[in-house]
Amino acid sequence: MREFDYLIFIGRFQPFHNGHLWTLQHALERADKVVVLCGSARQARNPMHPFTVEDRERMMRLALPEDVQSRVFVVGISDRMYNDQQWLTEVQNLVDRVIAVDNSDVGSRQAQFRIGIVGPPRGARHADGGVAIGGAKRGNAEYLELFPQWQRVEAPELPDVHASRVRHAFFDPEREGDWPACAALLPPPVFAWLNAFRASETFANLQSEYLFLKRYRQSWAAAPYPPTFVTVDAVVIHSGHVLLVRRRSQPGKGLWALPGGFVHPDERIKDAVIRELREEARLRVPAPVLAGSMRANRVFDHPQRSLRGRTITHAFLIELAPTSEGLPKVRGDDDAERAKWVPLFEFNRMEEQLFEDHFYIVNWFLGQV
């Protein structure tokens, strides 16, 4: 009889490597079933999060022997970048749901079972930065402390196995020579799957974004210290709709985003918001009306919110009053190839299509009004 009925294993698995497999095998030795929660489940693909939940489950299944497949449940969990408690609640709900379905009883609850959570030893850290908790990266062992209701199970780590190393070799032509060596870091079927993925259009798009971001960071690499970028974003609400623009170029080419951009050296924050609205969305609302419709603002400064570098954005909620003329006319321009008003119910289904943390910014404001 094993020690646990269920062990919970949380990670990003971008990609699933030998270190992850080692931990999963350890969990299967200790528990009858393992519930794997894949973080950043509905985030748009980017060079740091290149694989969907389906991709990651496929890699895990390829790496596991057939006789343990039925003992592993793989579930995706979205980031909640600015609400840790909401994220923790979703973890609890997902685990509860898996247990209920597994036992064919909607009345089955966690308290009836021996449940633990598996992760690295206390104090363990490595170059890939940890586990995303509500969107925030915490130290590899620190996140386990957020689940006092589940017994902690420490799994020994494999040294020098980092997903970031694999991703750099995967995308960077200048590190092409490092890619064959990654075979030693990955389960053989996963390495083969990744090689096939490299022939896809999705890979080509991700590599293009990776190279753009690399050049972008190189442009300020000679600075005496890394710069902090200051940007603005406008959350414009009108009659149950939010204003979005589609990005014309990298990073995030083709993704939907909030109208916004960099603050000019000679302008104030509020002026920058109005300027960007006029430039990117050609919003036909007078500037004084926009300024008078600002209802709230907040600084969003999550250290990992942008792959471009340390980027702090000042976001403003602008609520426009309904009029007999309906939704104001908008048109994509400048950095935006398109602008449109999106019904809020539809917006809530668009997490995978939103740039960076813009989905979470909008939802933060909607939760405040």
Please determine, for residue 129, whether its predicted confidence score (pLDDT) is greater than 50. Answer: no
Q: Where are the beta strands (DSSP E) in the chain?
A: 4-11, 31-38, 72-76, 115-119, 131-133, 136-138, 151-154, 229-238, 241-247, 256-257, 260-262, 294-300, 311-320, 336-343
**For 217-228, what is each residue's pLDDT tens digit?**
999 888 899 999
Taking the C-alpha atoms of residue 280 and residue 62, their distance in angstroms, rounded to an integer, is 45
Please work out, in degrees rounded to the nearest 5, the angle formed at the alpha carbon of residue 20 by the alpha carbons of 208 and 194: 35
Please work out, in degrees rounded to the nearest 5, the angle formed at the alpha carbon of residue 170 by the alpha carbons of 63 and 156: 45
- Residue type at position 25: Q
- Residue type at position 264: H
Backbone angles phi, psi at 320, to 5 degrees: -90, 135
Taking the C-alpha atoms of residue 295 and residue 74, their distance in angstroms, rounded to an integer, is 41
What is the structure's pLDDT at 106?
58
Q: Maximum distance among all alpha carbons in the chain?
A: 71
* Residue 141 and residue 123 in contact, taking contact as beta carbons nearer than 8 Å: yes
Cis peptide before 120 (omega within 30 of 0): no
Distance of CA 318 to the CA centre of its chain: 26
Taking the C-alpha atoms of residue 333 and residue 111, their distance in angstroms, rounded to an integer, is 55
Backbone angles phi, psi at 256, to 5 degrees: -85, 150
> Residue 131: pLDDT band by 50, 70, 90 thresholds?
low
Residue 57: enclosing H or E segment and its boundaries? helix 53-63
* Residue 150 and residue 117 in contact, taking contact as beta carbons nearer than 8 Å: yes
Global pTM value: 0.91
Calculate what percentage of the chain has a pLDDT beyond 70: 93
Q: List the domains of the chain with CATH numbers.
A: 4-202 (3.40.50.620), 229-366 (3.90.79.10)
What is the structure's pLDDT at 334?
76
**For 87-107, what is each residue's pLDDT tens digit?**
999 999 999 999 999 998 656
What is the structure's pLDDT at 195?
98
* Residue 99 and residue 62 in contact, taking contact as beta carbons nearer than 8 Å: no
* Residue 18 and residue 186 in contact, taking contact as beta carbons nearer than 8 Å: yes
What is the structure's pLDDT at 120?
86
What is the structure's pLDDT at 127?
46
> Residue 369: pLDDT band by 50, 70, 90 thresholds?
low
Take residue 102 and report the two structure tokens written for it: 């597994």
**For 188-232, what is each residue's pLDDT tens digit?**
999 999 999 999 999 999 999 999 999 999 998 888 999 999 999
Taking the C-alpha atoms of residue 153 and residue 86, their distance in angstroms, rounded to an integer, is 24
* Residue 276 and residue 234 in contact, taking contact as beta carbons nearer than 8 Å: yes
